């Protein structure tokens, strides 16, 4: 594993590119699977179903690996700046490749305007992760940031169920409860912990100002998403506006 780490550190861009290609292959393979009729009838829904399916694969893989990395090397939890393992470095390569592939998919599919929030998020993540890979600093921080992918498993499942028109099923009800719990325990807590670490060690961290401003921006974004999630799943308005075919504003709730 140490030999692999040496190769990765010499050519991180190569491993990121390989990861992007891998997720593109996954995207192609998922197109062969059957989809709900409600999805097939609309071009945007069909594209979003494929996009979310790839995102779900990424979340299942990276969320599991992020927790595994921290269990195998708990030191990374409080030595965010300098400590990492071969597996954690590989994890960041894999995840960076996914975010690049997903950003390209959004842009090339013609849905960039309606998905600008996702593109902003992806650009921030890609820059931070590439910095970690090329400087070998903050790799552990990137791993902690990927704890959010544990929640993303249920967040993506929620959206897939909505695309399929299954909001009234027991599965959706169970998923929305787990989604709420993991949003707080994995997404909010991970983001706020990294923010606290940067603030606490700001005086000596390299590019601390940039990473702090990035975290503050991302914290604002996830709090807005959290508000939308609570409003949609737990405090819905009396007037329900059905999603019309062709609408690309579907994912705001």
pLDDT (0 to 100) of residue 5: 66
Domain count, the chain: 1
- Residue 56 maps to a domain: yes
- Residue 240 maps to a domain: no
How confident is the model over 110-144, as pLDDT tens digits? 988 888 999 999 999 999 999 999 999 999 999 99
- Residue 252 maps to a domain: no
* Residue 243 falls in which region: left (phi positive, over 0), alpha (psi -120 to 50) or beta: beta
- Radius of gyration of the chain, Cα coordinates, nearest whole angstrom: 19
- Residue 246 maps to a domain: no
Is 148 a residue whose pLDDT tops 50? yes
pLDDT (0 to 100) of residue 250: 43
- Between CA 6 and CA 137 the distance in angstroms is 15
Range of the domain at 9: 2-235
- Between CA 95 and CA 211 the distance in angstroms is 18
User: Averaged over 2-22, what is the pLDDT?
Assistant: 84
- Residue 253 maps to a domain: no
User: Averaged over 182-211, what is the pLDDT?
Assistant: 95
Answer for the pair 157, 57: CB distance below 8 angstroms, yes or no: no
How confident is the model over 197-239, as pLDDT tens digits? 999 999 999 999 999 999 999 999 999 999 999 999 999 875 5
- Residue 250 maps to a domain: no
Question: C-alpha 158: how far from its chain's center?
Answer: 14
- Residue 28 maps to a domain: yes
pLDDT (0 to 100) of residue 40: 85
**Residue 77 binned pLDDT confidence (cut-offs 50, 70, 90):** very high
pLDDT (0 to 100) of residue 242: 46
- Residue 141 maps to a domain: yes
Is 243 a residue whose pLDDT tops 90? no
Quote the crossing angle between the two packed helices 189-200 and 208-233, to the nearest 10°: 160
Closest CA to 253 of 158, 185, 188, 189: 158
- Between CA 208 and CA 206 the distance in angstroms is 5
């Amino acid at each position: 594993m140490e030999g692999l780490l040496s190769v990765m550190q010499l050519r991180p861009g190569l491993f990121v590119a390989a990861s992007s290609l891998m997720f593109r292959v996954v995207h192609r393979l998922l197109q062969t699977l059957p989809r709900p009729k409600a999805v097939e009838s609309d071009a945007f829904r069909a594209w979003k179903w494929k996009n979310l399916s790839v995102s779900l694969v990424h979340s299942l893989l990276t969320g599991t690996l992020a927790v595994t990395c921290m269990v195998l090397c708990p030191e990374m939890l409080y030595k965010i700046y300098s400590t990492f393992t071969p597996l954690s470095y590989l994890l960041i390569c894999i995840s960076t490749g996914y975010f690049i592939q997903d950003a390209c998919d959004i842009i090339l599919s013609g849905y960039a305007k309606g998905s600008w929030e996702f593109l902003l998020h992806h650009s921030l993540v890609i820059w931070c992760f590439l910095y970690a890979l090329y400087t070998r600093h903050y790799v552990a921080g990137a791993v902690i940031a990927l704890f959010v992918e544990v929640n993303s498993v249920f967040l993506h499942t929620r959206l897939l169920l909505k695309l399929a028109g299954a909001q009234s099923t027991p599965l959706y009800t169970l998923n929305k409860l787990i989604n709420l719990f993991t949003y707080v325990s994995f997404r909010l807590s991970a983001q706020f912990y990294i923010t606290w670490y940067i603030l606490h060690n700001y005086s000596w961290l390299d590019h601390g100002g940039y990473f702090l401003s990035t975290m503050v921006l991302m914290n604002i974004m996830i709090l807005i998403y959290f508000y939308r999630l609570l409003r949609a799943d737990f405090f819905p308005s009396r007037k329900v506006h059905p999603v019309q075919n062709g609408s690309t504003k579907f994912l705001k709730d």
